[in-house]
Amino acid sequence: MVIQAGPGTGKTRTLTAKIAYLVSKKDVDPGSILALTFTNKAAKQLEQRIDKYMPRKTKTAVLASTFHSFCLRLLKEYKGFDAAIADDVIRISLIREAMGGKCQKRGGK
Helices (H), the chain: 11-24, 40-53, 67-79, 88-98
pLDDT of residue 96: 84
Q: Which residues contact 46 (CB under 8 A, 6 or more apart)?
A: 12, 15, 16, 35, 37, 64
Whether residue 83 has pLDDT greater than 80: no
In this prediction, residues 9-25 reach a mean pLDDT of: 89
Whether residue 104 has pLDDT greater than 70: no
What values do phi and psi take at 84, rounded to 5? -145, 160
Q: In this predicted model, which residue has the larger pLDDT, 105 or 89?
A: 89
Domain boundaries, the chain: 11-82
Reference 12, options 40, 30, 35, 34; nearest CA is 35
